[in-house]
Chain A
Amino acid sequence: METTVKKLVTAVSASVALMGAGHAAAEIKIGVAGPITGQVAQYGDMQFSGARMAIEQINAAGGVNGEMLEAVEVDDACDPKQAVTVANRLVNEGVRFVVGHLCSSSTQPASDIYEDEGILMVTPASTSPDITERGYELVFRTIGLDSVQGPVAGNYIASLNPERVAIVHDKQQYGEGIATAVRDTLKDAGVEVALFEGITAGDMDFSSLVTKLKQADVDYVYYGGYDPELGLILRQSRQAELDAVFMGPEGVGNKNINTIAGDAAEGLLVTLPPAFDKKAENQELVKAFQDKGEDPSGPFVLTSYTAVQLIAEGIEQAESTDPFDVAASLRSNSFNTPIGTVEYDEKGDMKSFEFVVYEWHSDGSKTPVN
């Protein structure tokens, strides 16, 4: 038995040691960290697809200052614990630039490590204001904040002169954060918020909630969260003949909501970043995605593409691969990207990131309302 134990121990420690040994290469490594597995893997797909495309195109055009980009893809499954593990693994591999993570709760602990290690991180998807609140030098994002998106939605609802508004959220960082921002905006505008309530993400039965909304006789319902739950709420509201107008953030604005809610999705209001894939100047890029059989319309595809592009251009302009130099160059320059002109403030947030209110239709299309 003892020999077995010994063998096992040596085998295990050897394999651990092996894992750490990354191979050295002359290329610039870009870590791409997001969920490949887990419940939000579908959003991770968008992120990876955008980043891969950018790296491919940049390399095809001769790389960055003659050096090729190499992607190091890691899976955090949107689990904070795994996010820390993969962040340390990226440090190991000698990665100095990271595109990621997706979920704010993963981005937050991982960014602690990146900042400490002098790694520059650009998140294409995490919208929590907390991430850039901590005065970190190397943390950037290519997406708008909940605290920007919430007021856009709140002001829009207030402009419609509603009698009573209900706000529902999924008790997750993203959903609750944005719902709180909407509530505060509405209160400031003097609108009565009749109901502010959380649901459990992953739940399927919303009949009690819908009944409650009906009883409260609200004419607008704001939902902070993602499409699976809102799709069900819409459908179950339609069945219970609740006639309120629903509104949600970009997390609900994808075609999946139509497959669940069907006709009930007609008239849903969604705040979204402007449809980047519809912009005339992006059509070549959109075609490149379509040629690969990928869909560029997801909310995080082009933000992720932009994150890679910003890192590459930052390196070029700084003429250095030192993350601190690149960060300085990102802060001081303005960049022309598929998501528009990007300029950064001190915190690492974009100076302007626009959200547009769209009306969603039952065939999955959308039209801007203002």
Chain B
Amino acid sequence: MAAHNLKHALFCAIVTLVIAYPILGFNLTSSGTNIVLEGAKTHTIGLVLLAAVAVFLFQLFRDNITGLLGKAPALNPLANRQPMEQSKRLKLESTLLTLIIVGALFWPFFVSRGSVDLATLVLIYVMLALGLNVVVGLAGLLDLGYVAFYAVGAYTFALLSQYYGVSFWFALPLGALLAALFGLVLGFPVLRLRGDYLAIVTLGFGEIIRILLNNMTNLTGGPNGIGGIPDPTLFGMEFGRRVKEEGNTSFHETFGIAYSSEHKIIFLYLIALVLAVITALVIRRLMRMPVGRAWEALREDEIAARSLGLSRTAVKLSAFTIGAFFAGFAGTVFASKQGFISPESFVFLESAIILAIVVLGGMGSQMGVILAAIAVTILPELAREFSEYRMLIFGAAMVLMMVWRPQGLLPMRRIHIELKAQE
């Protein structure tokens, strides 16, 4: 055993060297017009060697280490506790939710505008993730092109406001409905594809939408994007320093208070908050309705669900359309917040990040998804000092999460009736 361990450990150490040394140890730099090879700094090479030694030692004593870890008290102190009673848990959960929402309503008045703005972005991601959660988490359809519907929502508002001067409040339902229509039209032919085929087709669809937006310069401004998207108004009151549209009044003049740009930011945040709460409540409701049950049934066992008389297409299509609808919602808010949109905001990486939020949060779990949306948006902002390493850490965190806690931060708990075991 020891000999085998030694061999394996040596092998792993050598592999570490092979994958790290050439890339980290040599730098391709240009000197004038030629490419030359430079040795990396001594400490980089030292680190590579150290990593190899660490891997060697870990593999050599792996059994001992894992043994020790096994003996150590469980990392999660709640792991072995008795599950709480159903009714008590539900009550606690809803109190908690109410508290959070009330807190979220008043919180922006006490913090800086940067935080409020960031919180708005978080809420947009919450909406997106909740919507994708229906498609991926509940219905089990892997959608890698979700960002397309987000783009449809955003561009609907941008185009309508540019060409017809439509305001935010009219564009909001229109954007969402149009995104839903796209979901329906796309979903109809592709939903008979299975699993990973669906993934690649949706990915392709996402790319097609982005490329079309980029190429139809006459309509969408192409890569120049669309600017000057209006902010939402409150009963015809604008939040800008000057009133942009005729017939509107300005918020600060109406109430006779001094102009502050924070009003606008906070107002947008509150809109996003209300929409996110609506999204969460609607989906929560849907989950408990027959259609929600059907989604989960189809995810768990397609054949069994069909033999029970569920229409596969109708169920999948409903999930797809509803997911797209909320993406359209989020897109409209995003366009309004940015004031300027261009196709580069709707790339594949965005889809991947939304998917990562859903999975990190725990597929199907709403609380988890909300937490994950907060974590994924805010942690990179906090880690700006390491901004160079931000994406590196993000990638590594995704892998580590999947390895150590694949059920997500807060796994979904199904409402079920438990049979007491006979003593």
**Set A12, A105, A116, A259: member contacting B342, Cβ < 8 A:** A105
**Set A36, A80, A88: member contacting B113, Cβ < 8 A:** A88
Known: A19-B381, A88-B113, A92-B113. A177 touches B224 (CB 8 A): yes
Report the contact-size class of chain A (Cβ under 8 Å from the partner).
35 or more
The residues of B that contact A171 with a CB separation of less than 8 Å are 214-215, 222-223
Q: Least Cβ distance of B423 to chain A in Å?
A: 27
B338 interface contact, C-beta 8 A: yes
**Set B111, B117, B217, B390: member contacting A85, Cβ < 8 A:** B117
Q: Least Cβ distance of B49 to chain A in Å?
A: 27
Shortest Cβ distance from A363 into B: residue: B33
Binds A, one of B247-255, B272-280, B315-323, B367-375: B367-375
Q: Which among B78, B224, B384 has the greatest number of chain A C-beta atoms within 10 A? A: B224
**Inter-chain contact A259/B338, CB cutoff 8 Å:** no
**Inter-chain contact A92/B342, CB cutoff 8 Å:** no
Known: A12-B375, A109-B340. A37 touches B388 (CB 8 A): yes
Shortest Cβ distance from B375 into A: residue: A12
Known: A4-B78, A79-B344, A176-B223. A255 touches B33 (CB 8 A): yes
The residues of A that contact B339 with a CB separation of less than 8 Å are 109, 112
Q: Least Cβ distance of A293 to chain B in Å?
A: 13
The residues of A that contact B78 with a CB separation of less than 8 Å are 1, 4
The residues of B that contact A75 with a CB separation of less than 8 Å are 384, 387
The residues of B that contact A8 with a CB separation of less than 8 Å are 371
A128 interface contact, C-beta 8 A: yes
B121 interface contact, C-beta 8 A: yes
Shortest Cβ distance from B341 into A: residue: A80
Contact with A along B194-238 (1 / 0, CB 8 A): 000000000000000000001101000011110110000000000
B115 interface contact, C-beta 8 A: yes
**Inter-chain contact A17/B111, CB cutoff 8 Å:** yes
Q: Least Cβ distance of B15 to chain A in Å?
A: 29
Shortest Cβ distance from B224 into A: residue: A173
The residues of A that contact B115 with a CB separation of less than 8 Å are 16-17, 19-20, 92
Known: A12-B374, A81-B121. A364 touches B113 (CB 8 A): no
The B94-134 residues at the A interface (CB cut-off 8 A) are 96, 100, 103, 107, 110-115, 117-119, 121
The residues of B that contact A116 with a CB separation of less than 8 Å are 240-241, 261, 264
**Inter-chain contact A255/B32, CB cutoff 8 Å:** yes
CA distance A24 to B119 in the complex (A): 23
The B324-383 residues at the A interface (CB cut-off 8 A) are 337-342, 344-345, 367, 371, 374-375, 378, 381-382
**Inter-chain contact A80/B338, CB cutoff 8 Å:** yes
The residues of B that contact A17 with a CB separation of less than 8 Å are 110-111, 115
A2-B93, A9-B100 are known; give 8 further A-B pairs, CB within 8 A.
A20-B111, A36-B387, A37-B391, A85-B118, A88-B118, A92-B113, A176-B222, A363-B33
Contact with A along B299-316 (1 / 0, CB 8 A): 000000000000000000
Q: Least Cβ distance of A228 to chain B in Å?
A: 13
B257 interface contact, C-beta 8 A: no
**By the criterion of a CB under 8 Å from any partner CB, how many residues of chain B are at the interface?**
57
A117 interface contact, C-beta 8 A: yes
**Set A1, A9, A259: member contacting B34, Cβ < 8 A:** A259
CA distance A17 to B33 in the complex (A): 49
Shortest Cβ distance from A256 into B: residue: B30
B410 interface contact, C-beta 8 A: yes
Shortest Cβ distance from B334 into A: residue: A81
The residues of B that contact A367 with a CB separation of less than 8 Å are none
**Inter-chain contact A259/B224, CB cutoff 8 Å:** no
The residues of B that contact A364 with a CB separation of less than 8 Å are 32-33
CA distance A84 to B113 in the complex (A): 12
Known: A37-B387, A173-B224. A81 touches B96 (CB 8 A): no
CA distance A13 to B378 in the complex (A): 10
**Inter-chain contact A89/B33, CB cutoff 8 Å:** no
The residues of A that contact B382 with a CB separation of less than 8 Å are 15, 19
Q: Least Cβ distance of A57 to chain B in Å?
A: 26
**Inter-chain contact B344/A105, CB cutoff 8 Å:** yes
B92 interface contact, C-beta 8 A: yes
B35 interface contact, C-beta 8 A: yes
The A41-57 residues at the B interface (CB cut-off 8 A) are none
